[in-house]
Structures are given as structure tokens and as C-alpha cells.
Amino acid sequence: MKKLTKDYDFIARIQEISMQNIADCYQCGRCTAGCPFAEYMDEPPNRIIRYIQLGSKEDILKAQSPWFCAACLVCETRCPRGVDIPRIMEAVRTIHLRAKEQILDIDKIDKEILQDAHPLVLMSVLYKYSF
């Protein structure tokens, strides 16, 4: 069995950036049930929260899910415990980006879409996927 080392500093950092108390979540899974992009995520939103509760830094930083969160806030609206999941996703993204990881790969963007891209979309993408 994998031995879990709980990274308390990491939990604290996520809580600080997201302003959320990670222990508030009781894993009902309503966030995942309503998420329009859960099907594209390698780990569903509630499991990301669970990894943070467990302080499993490696699993959290490995997950691609935060890059599929569009911050639509459906989960935030429906969470019975008032957990703002998009803020937690943003905290994870922020940790990646502040470590100077470049997520946006311009060469991989569909040329047809890029040519006529909406300025709002471009600005959001630069903000969410690059540092």
C-alpha cells in the first residue's frame, strides 16, 4: 500500500489562496454531479478536494482537472457546505503558474479558432493558463 505523507504546508497554502476551509467538504459529490466538464477531467472535482484534505500534494499537482475548470461556478452555487470549489481550482492553477510552468502551448491551438479568436477568450486564457 502507498504510504501517504500528509503535506500540511501545502494544505495551508491552498486554503490561504482560496480562502476556503478544506475540512468543510463532506464528499457528497454534488460538485462533480453538476460539473459540465467533469467528463473531461482525469480526477473529478470532489476527488481533487479529497486529495487536498489528505494533503496528497503529488496527486493534486499531477491532476489535469484544474485546467478543465471554466470557473462557471455551478458547483459553488450547489455545494451544501458552501465550499467555493472554483477558488480551490484557481489556487491549484496559481501554484502551478507561480512555479513558472507554461501550460498554454500556442502551437497546439486550432488555427482556425485562433485566427478569429475573441479578445475576451484570449485574455482569459492568458490569465488562466500562463504566468
Q: Residues in the site for other proteins, rule: CB under 8 A?
A: 16-19, 36-37, 40, 67-68, 70-74, 76-78, 84, 86-87, 89-91, 94, 103-104, 109-110, 113-114, 116-125, 127-129
Q: How far is the CB of 75 from other proteins (least distance, A)?
A: 10
Q: How far is the CB of 52 from other proteins (least distance, A)?
A: 15
Question: From CA 68, how far away is CA 75, in angstroms rounded?
Answer: 14
Q: What's at 2, amino acid-wise?
A: K
Question: 4 vs 123, which CB is nearer to other proteins?
Answer: 123
Which three cell numbers mark 37? 466538464
Q: How far is the CB of 91 from other proteins (least distance, A)?
A: 6
Question: 4 vs 122, which CB is nearer to other proteins?
Answer: 122
CA distances (Å), 111 to each of 100, 105, 116, 129, in order? 25, 12, 9, 18
Question: From CA 131, how far away is CA 128, in angstroms rounded?
Answer: 8
